[in-house]
Homo-oligomer: A and B are copies of this chain.
């Protein structure tokens, strides 16, 4: 399944050269998500470096999230880890800090439209090029938590308007129906004010604080394939980090 790798002994450390080569295979989708990559001993032979060096490379790539290692099974190409996403941090911030559960989503509308300036810029299109537009409401029990607006380049996702997207995860659909895996994503978080439509959907008024998250998801070769705007109720969002 894989070719020989040429790794020369110049100034650059071998384990970094090997890491770059493997990253290249992954980000170009030559080695696809979930696939097992060659074993340590095999890489050691084909690259003509010691097993210890290969171990160092793979440990580093695992640390960086490119691969997952399983003792006794092998090393596998990882997908992006959206447990690190901003949108996974919606929680109760009430006195009783019980986390939310049973998330659902309701489709508010879907259509093929012309991209405006913002969407075109995010997706690397010209203004006016066709995009598929999906409008969703994210809920938890009876709470309306967030409104999502999702834009896809229609060229690549032709026919997606005929696929049922209710309660489905979108990224597996991108992969299976359109051969377009999400390899990584960019996210921006801001405090914003909700437009009146969104405020109404979230059952808040336009003075309630609201969190805006924008995500651009990329497939192989850093091609943008999804632009997502996520407007969430500020009173149910709390993001936490530890500084060390």
- Interface residues of chain A, those whose CB is within 8 Å of chain B, are 63-66, 80-82, 84-86, 93, 184-193, 206-211, 215, 234-235, 237-244
Contact = CB atoms under 8 A, between A and B. Distances in A.
Contacts of A206: 207
B188 A234 contact: no
Contact of A191 (B84, B187, B234, B240): B234
B185 A82 contact: no
A188 B238 contact: yes
A26 to B, nearest CB: 10
Which of A184, A188, A215, A243 counts the most B-chain CB atoms under 10 A from its CB?
A243
A207 to B, nearest CB: 5
A191 B191 contact: yes
A66 B244 CA distance: 7
Contact of A187 (B184, B193, B241): B241
A86 B241 CA distance: 8
Contacts of A215: 243
Given A191-B234, A193-B209, A209-B191, A184 B80 contact: no
A121 B84 CA distance: 28
Nearest to A187: B241
9 contacts: A64-B244, A65-B244, A85-B243, A86-B241, A187-B242, A190-B238, A206-B207, A207-B207, A215-B243
